[in-house]
Amino acid sequence: MDDLIDWEQQRAWVEIDLSALAYNVRQIRGLLAPSTKIMAVVKADAYGHGAIDIARTLTDMGVEWLAVATVTEGIELRQAGIFAPILVLGAVNSEMQVHEIAKWDLQPTICSIAQATVISKAVATLDPSVVLNVHLNLDTGMSRLGADWQQAVAFYREVEDLPYLQIASLYSHLATADELDPTVMEMQIDRFDRSIAAIAAAGHLLPMLHLANSAGVLVSDRLNYQLVRPGLILYGLCPAPHLQSAIDLQPVLSVRARITQVKSITAGTGVSYGYRFIAKRDMPIAVVEIGYADGIPRRLSDRMQAIVRGRLVPQIGSITMDRIMLDVSQIPDLQVGEIATILGTDGSVRITADDWANQLGTISWEILCGFKHRLPRVSK
């Protein structure tokens, strides 16, 4: 976070409500058995929220594990003084990556015997006392990373037999937990449970088990196992409308920008590139210092709204790289320097990432991850 910035002069920023994050963690805890731990997913800069401050808040609240997508993301957290166990969800396939993982006390995912062999050989070149905690990923139906669940016993045994590796957990990832039809999810649960049973029957001591993503946490407590991996719900958004009644959440992220010019235009005047908006009457407009280079999708041109003084106002004309224009006919005596809320709450009015996602036919994850780093993050 950029706490030293003079916010009176800042053109636009992402505002992070850490109290909302804490509230969401408490709500998630309320759905879990006391013995189930949380592995908070903070990849992609904590879904655009700022991974370091988010991770600090989470660990201060007692969240036991963190998960990132890449080795670089894990190193960033370690360099910031965050010492919780960190799982790297992405594939690791080079000796250099393994050395960095060992140096920074990260824990890699293993998806194949070939990958496990590479990691074991790389660890062998380090201090002989180094033993790397690794996490085995089974593909139970996502068809992404992971070993074939039908080969779970052989996979487990061969990794267990490799030197310098200690199996810390076994996990899989749900493909359709946020869908109304539970058929595929039930198939994946069955495959995961059959894999677990087969490994145990072969005489292996089971490690920690985890399967539930955000939707999985909300669907059923039978998916909890020893760990859950919430992502989106940490940040205050629900993965599907039909799951909203399962948990009360508060959005963590808001986006705000300053009005830098207020002007009046006459009927027939075009606004912005391409004149996709032409005024049908004399009207005041406000220029706001935020655009598609900051993360507002250009496809929202003439379709989105902002909030000014607690009232919704329409955006007009093409969204440009650095600016948007608003129809402020309903806001009397608007002044330069006033704040427009792009996402978030002002008074009793709220605009969410879900609203944008629904308009664009996409998902809220993409919206959150789209806000660029030229927008400073400020926590409150």
Cα 216 from Cα 201, distance rounded (Å): 26
Cα dihedral sign for 107, 109, 110, 115? Answer: negative
Task: Provide the residue count of the chain.
Answer: 380
**Whether residue 221 is found in the same domain as residue 284:** no
- Whether 119 is in a domain gets the answer yes
Total number of domains constituting the chain: 2
2 has pLDDT over 60: no
Catalytic residue among 121, 225, 263, 273: 273
Nearest CA among 163, 160, 132, 136 for reference residue 148: 136
What average pLDDT does range 154-163 have in this prediction?
A: 97
Cα dihedral sign for 37, 46, 319, 360? Answer: negative
pLDDT-based confidence at residue 6 (cuts at 50, 70, 90): low
What average pLDDT does range 250-265 have in this prediction?
A: 97
**Whether residue 232 is found in the same domain as residue 329:** no
What average pLDDT does range 275-283 have in this prediction?
A: 97
Average pLDDT, the chain: 95
Cα 133 from Cα 107, distance rounded (Å): 6
- Residues 174-224: tens digit of each pLDDT: 999 999 999 999 999 999 999 999 999 999 999 999 999 999 999 988 888
Nearest CA among 80, 78, 81, 370 for reference residue 253: 370
What are 112's two structure tokens? 């194949």
Q: Which domain holds residue 75?
A: 18-245
- Residues 118-137: tens digit of each pLDDT: 999 999 999 889 999 999 99
47 is catalytic: no
Taking a C-beta distance cutoff of 8 angstroms, is the pair 306, 340 a contact? yes
Task: Name, in order, each residue with C-beta under 8 angstroms of 240's C-beta and a sequence gap of 6 or more.
Answer: 178, 179, 180, 215
**Whether residue 218 is found in the same domain as residue 274:** no
Can you give the pLDDT at residue 193? 97
Catalytic residue among 37, 43, 47, 292: 43
- Whether 186 is in a domain gets the answer yes
Residue 58: which region, alpha, beta or left (left: phi > 0; alpha: psi -120 to 50)?
A: alpha
159 has pLDDT over 70: yes
What are 32's two structure tokens? 């879990």
**Whether residue 36 is found in the same domain as residue 139:** yes
Can you give the pLDDT at residue 221? 87
**Whether residue 158 is found in the same domain as residue 293:** no
**Whether residue 284 is found in the same domain as residue 207:** no
The residue out of 211, 245, 279 marking a domain boundary is: 245
The Cβ-side half-sphere exposure at 261, using a 13 Å CA radius, reads 9
What average pLDDT does range 143-153 have in this prediction?
A: 95
What are 350's two structure tokens? 């709220």
| Distance from the Cα of residue 49 to its chain's centroid | 8
3-state secondary structure of 286: strand
pLDDT > 90 fraction of the chain, expressed in percent and rounded: 93
- Model's pTM, two decimal places? 0.93
Can you give the pLDDT at residue 219? 94
pLDDT-based confidence at residue 9 (cuts at 50, 70, 90): low
**Whether residue 65 is found in the same domain as residue 124:** yes
| Distance from the Cα of residue 261 to its chain's centroid | 34
The residue out of 188, 220, 245 marking a domain boundary is: 245
- CATH number of the domain residue 364 falls in: 2.40.37.10
4 has pLDDT over 60: no
43 is catalytic: yes
Cα 131 from Cα 183, distance rounded (Å): 40
**Whether residue 144 is found in the same domain as residue 231:** yes
The residue out of 200, 215, 245 marking a domain boundary is: 245
- Cα-flanking dihedrals φ and ψ of residue 130, to 5°? -75, 125
Cα 192 from Cα 205, distance rounded (Å): 16
